[in-house]
Every structure is written in structure tokens, then in C-alpha cells.
Structure 1
């Protein structure tokens, strides 16, 4: 149901903005082709606690965690939670990987290192 998805998305983003701001967590949430992708930056312990909470949230299904890695300079420090919806640059990125559409399960260690900076470059969207 698209209306319920939109409502859940608004709720998730509102919760994320509030929690992340208070806990100095930054990140991006991308949604396209029926999939979500999220990247979080901040204190590793806080992020791991947040991830455990996300896994217990009934609004989330089939969660896959990519290996965490340390970065010297974060890409999302301007956003407590940046939201990006389906975007042509990301469609092209996945086509170059040989995929017809966005599917985060198909990302590997190398492609994810190129995908995350692409998300940082794209303008933020509003949930209407």
C-alpha cells in the first residue's frame, strides 16, 4: 500500500532526524524500486545499538548489514538523515554494474565504496 509506505517513511525519517541529531549520527536513506538502503556515520557503539533497534522494528524486513568500516571524513555530516528517492544517476550506476534496477543486495565491497559517495552528491528529497 503506497499510502502506508509513505506514512511509515515519514515516521522513520522523523524518528531518525530526532535520534540522530541528539546522538551525533549522520547518514542517508535511499529508496527506489521497492528497496531501501541506509548508510550511517558516527560513534560505532551508538550505531550498533541503533542497528539492533532497527532490526527489531516490524516496519523493516530482510535487513542486510554491510561490513562497517572506519572513515577519516564523513560524507553526510550535514544531515542527521538525508533522504534520496529514485534517481537517474543511481539507475545509471546500477546499469553499469549490469543490473536493470536498484537492488542493494547486489552491492559488493567495491561497488558499495563507489555507491555511497554518489549518494552524498545527490540533492536531498522531501517526503511529500
Structure 2
């Protein structure tokens, strides 16, 4: 049986490097999901995560149990699991969407000035998922280590 599981969480602020956390989450998710025919989306803004996972029920539920133990997440809220006929995120093993004006506008229409995924309801969750399906996927830039030469400092001085 194919299901869609959505959850929201707060980012654990004890993890100081957000970019590293996002890169790790996406890299691991994409590898695992591709092997297990799981599809989905990750959205991050205002210190909050929203994730939707689609695939075989047992695999998705086991994955969610592992996510609940991940120290990068706090205050995880299961927004729901539903049996589905159509996979929304079939193009992506894990699409990443970062904060954007369309999502900001959506949350303003439901009465919130900032991204608060824990306030999503069954009534507006599908509309939010549609916003994420149509949103542009973002590639996270890796930070390059900068040596003395690349900072314009001569190592011979």
C-alpha cells in the first residue's frame, strides 16, 4: 500500500551548522530513498522543517521512526499518514525547497507571518503540498575551505 506521511519539526539549535545538517539530511535521504523507492520533499525556513515522504507504507513508517530519533530534529509533529493513489513527488527522491515568497504568502493566508508547519491542517495540507510540488528545487551550495592563498594572503610573507 502506498502512503504519504507528513511531519513537522523544529531544528535542534545545538547543531551549529545548518548547511552541514541540510546537506547531510538530503544526501542520506536521497541515497536511501532511491534504493527504497521513496519520494518526497523537504522544506526548511524559520528554524522549522516540513517533510513529506511517499512510498510503501512499511518502509515510510520505519523511516519516520528513525527520523524521530535524529538529534537534528526536536518537537516532531506527525501531521498525518494517508493512503494515496498518486505520488506527488515522483520526480524526486528528496526535493529540497527553501524559504520562498509563495510559501510565505500561503502561510499569511492561513494567519501566520512566518513558516509554522505545525499549524497545517488536513484542510490546507494538500494546498501546501501543491505549492511545494510547483516550487523550484534548490541546490545547497557546499562551503569550500578557504586557505591562506585563496584569502589573498601570501604564505611566503
TM-score > 0.5 by shorter chain: yes
Q: Which runs of 5+ in 2 are unaligned?
A: 1-12, 142-157
Structure ranking higher in strand proportion: 2
Match of 1:81 among 90, 94, 106: 94
Structure showing greater radius of gyration is 2
Q: Which runs of 5+ in 1 are unaligned?
A: none
Structure ranking higher in helix proportion: 1
**8 Å CA contact 2:46, 2:114 repeated in 1:** yes
Shift of 1:94: 0.6
Where does residue 122 of structure 2 map in the other structure? 109
Query: Secondary structure at 1:68's aligned position in 2?
Result: strand
**TM-score calculated relative to the size of structure 2:** 0.78
Where does residue 30 of structure 1 map in the other structure? 43
Where does residue 49 of structure 1 map in the other structure? 62
**TM-score calculated relative to the size of structure 1:** 0.96
Aligned residues: 128
Pairing 1:112-123 to 2, within 5 Å after superposition = 112-123=125-136
Structure 1 runs (4+) deviating above 6 angstroms are none
